[in-house]
Structure 1
Amino acid sequence: MRKLLLVEDDLSLIEGLKFSLAKHEFEVTVARTVKEARHCFNQSEYNLVLLDLMLPDGSGFDICRMIRQTSNIPVIFLTASDEEVNIVMGLDMGGDDYITKPFKLNELLSRINATLRRSEPVKEQVTELHANGIAVKLLEGRAIKNGTDLELTSAEYRLLCLFMRNPRVVLSKEKIMQSLWDCRESFIDDNTLAVYISRLREKIEDNPKQPSFLTTIRGMGYKWNIM
């Protein structure tokens, strides 16, 4: 579950938000003062902070400043004030969004989910695979061993990519055949798969008669070893 710190002093709003957010798989921790919020934030890790602007012992601005000293966690301000100066101040000091009270729950949930999506780190796209002196350049559709291009068929290339993406994992024949089959080819059976494996070994193994990269696990399937 995603963990959310709710900093709010309105008891009726707290109960309603806790119930609704829990239904959407959020684990909610509540702090009703600046002091409680500082303590909670320092004691645990959260995915997002919902931060009321006006609190009994200070301002949500104080908490946001504290958070931004050490963390880039998303912060959404909950405010009864729609004055532009407060909105601008909150965003300038590091707030990611704001929502004005009273608000609709669906709008709040949409804002939370959108903010969380924007805060997710961008995953780097894998463009090359490397193992056992073999490099596969995925964007170019090429496989190279010790500086020399391997002359692979489409099926052999897909096989090699499948194994290199799953190192040290025993892949069943069924899993492999599902990965090899597509709309351009007829159904691949055990015998055809064995031929593909044999041909691939001829092209990638140092000693195809005693394969060390692509080994057979009797009764289970095949495994790609990292040497």
Structure 2
Amino acid sequence: MYRILIVEDDMGIASAMKKQIEMWDLEVSCVENFRNVLEEFSEFAPQLVLLDISLPFYNGYYWCAEIRKFSKIPIIFISSASDNMNIVMAMNMGGDDFIAKPFDLNVLTAKIQAILRRTYDFGGQMTILQHRGAMLNTSDASLTYNGERIELTKNDYRILRTLMENKGKVVSRDTLMERLWETDSFVDENALTVNIARLRKKLEQVGLMEFIVTKKGMGYLIG
């Protein structure tokens, strides 16, 4: 089931869109905290965003730019400010489509379904794993925290992905070593310890303290 995030401060419009979209077996969430849209974005991990331009605190262009720092998911702008300048700006900021208010709800759902088909049926799903505000984009192996993109090595990415896919569970050292080196050949266990230590240091430098927790004699999990 695809997840759609609605960023619209008119609750009447947001509710109508949510009700209509859910009729097509799509999961929908409406943003409530317009001061920090990224927090709700990361928690819900949508496959498409419906984004108004005029919003409290920061406008839709700002949030589109913030999302584009770590995600390529489709963004459809929805606004009554439908003059050519706003439409062009929305596209230049990273929008995939623009729907002018007032609009027909059936047209809205048709556009959503068309974009979802084009993006995911042919391009493969773009998944974002998140924990404590850190967002791991599996489509481009990037990690973002507090709007900052963190460079990952191949091993950094494999460790984080394995741990975040098993959030709340302890992952054994053997499992991590298999994911890292993808071989049945002997690999010195110290190599994993070194990789974990380097990754922890990198995470701590951006404020993610104790993100990877050691369970002695068992393995690791994210905390």
Matched with 2:116 is 116
1: CA distance, partners of 2:56 / 2:123? 41
- Which residue type is aligned with residue 53 of structure 1? I
- Equivalent positions of 1:1-227 (< 5 A) are 1-120=1-120, 122=122
2: CA distance, partners of 1:55 / 1:123? 31
- Verify the 8 A CA contact 1:33 1:55 in the aligned structure 2: no
Q: Secondary structure of the residue that 1:9 maps to in structure 2? A: coil
Q: CA deviation at 1:37?
A: 1.8
Unaligned runs of 5+ in 2: 125-223
Q: CA deviation at 1:120?
A: 2.0
2: CA distance, partners of 1:110 / 1:40? 25
Q: CA deviation at 1:2?
A: 1.3
Question: TM-score under structure 2 normalisation?
Answer: 0.52
Q: CA deviation at 1:17?
A: 1.2
Corresponding pairs, count: 124
- Which residue type is aligned with residue 116 of structure 1? L
Identity across the alignment (%):
38
Unaligned runs of 5+ in 1: 125-227
Q: CA deviation at 1:3?
A: 0.5
1: CA distance, partners of 2:58 / 2:114? 28
Question: TM-score under structure 1 normalisation?
Answer: 0.52
- Verify the 8 A CA contact 2:33 2:40 in the aligned structure 1: no
RMSD: 1.7
Q: Secondary structure of the residue that 2:35 maps to in structure 1? A: helix
Q: CA deviation at 1:36?
A: 4.0
- Verify the 8 A CA contact 1:2 1:27 in the aligned structure 2: yes
Between structure 1 and structure 2, the one with the greater Rg is 1
Q: CA deviation at 1:121?
A: 5.8
Q: Secondary structure of the residue that 1:4 maps to in structure 2? A: strand
